[in-house]
Every structure is written in structure tokens, then in C-alpha cells.
């Protein structure tokens, strides 16, 4: 991706720092209807559309050996990731094909095969039905159609994604230049460091919006993020399929967030010392890229006014021993930053539902938010979105014209 090369990135951030007015290359951004953040009908539409998008599942470290499994439950979907004897990672519904009982109840583990604890039906690691107690009680033709229900699963290095739509474009085609940028950080050589879950009493888009811009940094994070990040010098790229990147200049060229040396991906060290690079992958995840490690945030809708934020930290795999205490400190500091963002979300949710605040005004630094909403309507089907809740396709039209 040209925009994430050192010289173009440096020039684009400087150009933004020198800007004195609303950029002439952007169209006027209309208000986003407040109902999109609280309307139950719209929430149902976007949840249905989300199941046709690529969603983050697990990291390869969650299922390191054949027979290892990891349970996954989001969007009302009970799933199970399993690494087979062929070392391939597959995803199945965590549902026995007999009467729908859960196959596993614990979060993760390792088994030679997968068996239902209720009636003892068992399945091979590739999902094929292996054993049925009292098999004589069943029609053999019925049993031939009772393998586990598989969910489409594709990967980028050690990152595994799912899509409930068998007709959706391949993962790498959907990510496009985002995949190219991520590959610079060698996800195939990454390890899972930590996982945390936060619950926020607000619509997932309110929570996600908080991390799609740096306009708030000087006011919400004056003692942490604002000390090293120059929010007035950033460059934003709106990419196909609702994805976007934002690179914001670091105030200290030699800034090292960890405070001590850590294994790094040498190919991106220059970029990491120049800018904080945040990547939004539609519909619900953000990565803040760095050469020594990075967090991935998944924003999982619970209902129209509740969100679970899953925060995973990844680091380059290395033979050099790394301190768990150090990574615990890094993760705790990051959670502190997120909680500073999220303490305002409940009040913003109340504003949306009150009826007083009918629209959300978006500035130039916040245009990734509008870009995401445009993509959302396209995924739902623009004609299916009630007219009073639609966003105008102004950024998409400008990009098409270009």
C-alpha cells in the first residue's frame, strides 16, 4: 500500500498539519441520523448484513495442536474452531446433529474426537460423523447427512476469520489493500499475548466511532496518548468495502511505547517510529499497528444499546524470552485508554435515544465514520433502509467519480 510507505506517509501527514480549512477534496458530509444508533428495526437490518461480512474468529495459538478446540459465541451464533489431524483449522456450529445439544461447554481444550455429552454421538476432527450409540435405532440414510455443520473459515497468517455467507468474496479479496498492509507486520509469525473483554452500555457503533478518529485525543487522553500523538497531523485513506486507515504523526521520533526493548518486525520499524497506524476493517474491528506488537479490537453487538469489546494483543514470535509482567502492563495501560473513551458512551447513547439529538455531525478527521455508514447501507441494501435512517452516498460517489 503506497500510503503506508515512509515518504508518502510523512508528506501526507505534513500536508494535513498545514491545512487551514475543510479539505477541498472532500464533499460536504451530511449528518448521520441518530436513529441508526438506537432504532431496533435498523439494528436487525445491520445484524443480518453483518453475517454476510468477514468476522474475526481466533488466532492460531487458540488451537495450537491437532484436536485443540476453541468455543466462539457472538451474534447469537454458537461456534467451535477445531484444528484437525491435517493441521487445518475448521469452524463448525457447536451443535450436535442429533437434537441440537452443545458439543462442548468449556471455553477450550483438546480431544481426539468431538462427542456430544448428552447421547454420545461422536465426530471426527474434520466434522464427519464417527459414532452413534444404538445405531440400529436410526435410518442409515439419515445418518449419512449428519456431519457437523461447517462455517466458512479463511485466514491471513495466524488470523482466522469466518463468514456465514458461502457466496461472499474470499477474505483476501474483501480486505484488499488492508491485507497487503497487514502482511507487512508478518501475521504468519505472530503470537497471541492476551485477551480481554469489556462490556459497554452503548450501541456498538458509538463505541467503535470513539476509535475511528483522533480528534478527541487532546481532551480525553491528555496524560497518555496526547503526549506522543499529534492529532493535527494525520492522513486517512478510505478503502474499498468499507475499510479505512488512519496514520497519525508521533511527536517523538524515537518513541517506544513499551519503555524497554522488545522483538520487532524490522521491515516496519521506520513507519512505527514515524506514525501511529490504525486500520479499520469493516464491519467491527480496528488494529493499531506497531512493529513490536499490536492490539486488535472486535466490537461485538449484544443489542442495540450494549457492546462487548474483545481486545486481543499480538506480538512477533521470537526465541527471545519476553516478560509476562511487561505484557500485562502494556495490556493494562491500553485498557485504561479504552476505558477513558468508553466512559462517555452511555451518555452518548442516552443522547441518541432522547430524540433531542437527531443527527451526528461529522468532521474531516472523522470521515472514516461516515465511510463505514455508507458501506453499511450498501451491505443492507440501500432501498431496504428506511428513508429517514439512510445516509447519503457522498463519499462513495466522489470515489467513483475519481
Domain membership of residue 314 (yes or no) is yes
262-272 residue pLDDT tens: 788 888 878 88
Residue 287 φ/ψ, nearest 5 degrees: -125, 135
The predicted pLDDT at position 42 comes to 98
30-82 residue pLDDT tens: 999 999 999 999 999 999 999 999 999 999 999 999 999 999 999 999 999 99
Domain membership of residue 76 (yes or no) is yes
Domain membership of residue 126 (yes or no) is yes
Instruction: Quote the mean pLDDT of the chain.
Output: 92
Name the strand (E) or helix (H) holding 355: none
Q: Which of 105, 122, 156 is the last residue of a domain?
A: 156
Please tell me the distance from the alpha carbon of residue 246 to that of residue 213, in angstroms, as a whole number: 8
Please tell me the distance from the alpha carbon of residue 143 to that of residue 108, in angstroms, as a whole number: 28
DSSP-assigned letter for residue 146: -
Residue the block writes with cell 479539505: 23
250 and 362: one domain?
A: yes
137-147 residue pLDDT tens: 999 988 999 99
Domain membership of residue 161 (yes or no) is no
Range of the domain at 242: 2-54+169-401
The size of the chain, in residues, is 402
Strands 159-163 and 150-156 come out as: antiparallel
Number of independent structural domains in the chain = 2
Instruction: Provide the CATH number for the domain around residue 106.
Output: 2.102.10.10
Q: Which of 156, 188, 209 is the last residue of a domain?
A: 156
130-166 residue pLDDT tens: 999 999 999 998 899 999 999 999 999 999 999 999 9
DSSP-assigned letter for residue 398: H
The predicted pLDDT at position 319 comes to 85
Residue 108 pLDDT greater than 70, yes or no: yes
Helices (H), 110-176: 140-143, 171-175
Work out the average pLDDT over 175-187. 94
204 and 136: one domain?
A: no
215 and 345: one domain?
A: yes
Cβ proximity of 341 and 211 under 8 Å:
yes
Instruction: Provide the CATH number for the domain around residue 175.
Output: 3.90.380.10
Please report which confidence band the pLDDT of residue 224 belongs to, taking 50, 70 and 90 as the band edges.
confident
End-to-end CA distance of the chain: 18
DSSP-assigned letter for residue 54: -
Work out the average pLDDT over 172-196. 95
- Of 278, 52, 291, the closest CA to residue 165 belongs to 52
Of all residues in the chain, the percent with pLDDT exceeding 70 is 95
CA distances from 3 to 63, 243, 245, 344 (A): 35, 14, 9, 32
The predicted pLDDT at position 271 comes to 84
Residue the block writes with cell 443522547: 351
Q: Which of 135, 156, 177 is the last residue of a domain?
A: 156
389 and 241: one domain?
A: yes
The larger pLDDT score, comparing residue 113 to residue 227, is at: 113
Work out the average pLDDT over 109-117. 96
Domain membership of residue 164 (yes or no) is no
Name the strand (E) or helix (H) holding 49: helix 40-50
Please tell me the distance from the alpha carbon of residue 312 to that of residue 158, in angstroms, as a whole number: 13
Domain membership of residue 137 (yes or no) is yes
Please tell me the distance from the alpha carbon of residue 206 to that of residue 200, in angstroms, as a whole number: 10
The predicted pLDDT at position 75 comes to 96
- The pTM (predicted TM-score) of the whole model is 0.94
224 and 139: one domain?
A: no
Amino acid at each position: 500500500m503506497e500510503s503506508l510507505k515512509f515518504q508518502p506517509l510523512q508528506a501526507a501527514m505534513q500536508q494535513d498539519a498545514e491545512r487551514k480549512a475543510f479539505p477541498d477534496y472532500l464533499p460536504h458530509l451530511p449528518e448521520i441520523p441518530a436513529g441508526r444508533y438506537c432504532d431496533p428495526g435498523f439494528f436487525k437490518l445491520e445484524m443480518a448484513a453483518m453475517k454476510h461480512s468477514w468476522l474475526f474468529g481466533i488466532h492460531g495459538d487458540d488451537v495450537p495442536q491437532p484436536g485443540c478446540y476453541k468455543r466462539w459465541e457472538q451474534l447469537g451464533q454458537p461456534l467451535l474452531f477445531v484444528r484437525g489431524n491435517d493441521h487445518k483449522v475448521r469452524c463448525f456450529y457447536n451443535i450436535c446433529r442429533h437434537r441440537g445439544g452443545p458439543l462442548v461447554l468449556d471455553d477450550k481444550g483438546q480431544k481426539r474426537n468431538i462427542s456430544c455429552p448428552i447421547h454420545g454421538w461422536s465426530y471426527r476432527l474434520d466434522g464427519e460423523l464417527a459414532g452413534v450409540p444404538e445405531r440400529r435405532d436410526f435410518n442409515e440414510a439419515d445418518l449419512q447427512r449428519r456431519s457437523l455443520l461447517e462455517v466458512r473459515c479463511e485466514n491471513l497468517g495466524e488470523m482466522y476469520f469466518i463468514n456465514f455467507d458461502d457466496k461472499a468474496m474470499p477474505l483476501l479479496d474483501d480486505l484488499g489493500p488492508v491485507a497487503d498492509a497487514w502482511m507487512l507486520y508478518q501475521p504468519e509469525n505472530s503470537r497471541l499475548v492476551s485477551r480481554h473483554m469489556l462490556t459497554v452500555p452503548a450501541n456498538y457503533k458509538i463505541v467503535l466511532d470513539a476509535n475511528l478518529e483522533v480528534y478527541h485525543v487532546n481532551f480525553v487522553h491528555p496524560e497518555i496518548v496526547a503526549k506522543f500523538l499529534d492529532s493535527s497531523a494525520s492522513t486517512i485513506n478510505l478503502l474499498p468495502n468499507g475499510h479505512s486507515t488512519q496514520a497519525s504523526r508521533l511527536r517523538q521520533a524515537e518513541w517506544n511505547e513499551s519503555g524497554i526493548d522488545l522483538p520487532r518486525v524490522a521491515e516496519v520499524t521506520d513507519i512505527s517510529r514515524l506514525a501511529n497506524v490504525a486500520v479499520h476493517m469493516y464491519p467491527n474491528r480496528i488494529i493499531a499497528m506497531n512493529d513490536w506488537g499490536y492490539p486488535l479490537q472486535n466490537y461485538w453487538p449484544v443489542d442495540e444499546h450494549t457492546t462487548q469489546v474483545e481486545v486481543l494483543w499480538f506480538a512477533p514470535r521470537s526465541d527471545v524470552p519476553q516478560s509476562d509482567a511487561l505484557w500485562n502492563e502494556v495490556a493494562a495501560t491500553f485498557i485504561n485508554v479504552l476505558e477513558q473513551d468508553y466512559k462517555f458512551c452511555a451518555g452518548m447513547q442516552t443522547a441518541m435515544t432522547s430524540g433531542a439529538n437527531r443527527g451526528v455531525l461529522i468532521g474531516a478527521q472523522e470521515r472514516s465514520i461516515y465511510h463505514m455508514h455508507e458501506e453499511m447501507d450498501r451491505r443492507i441494501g440501500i432501498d431496504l433502509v428506511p428513508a429517514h435512517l439512510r445516509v447519503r452516498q457522498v463519499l462513495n460517489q466522489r470515489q467513483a467519480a475519481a
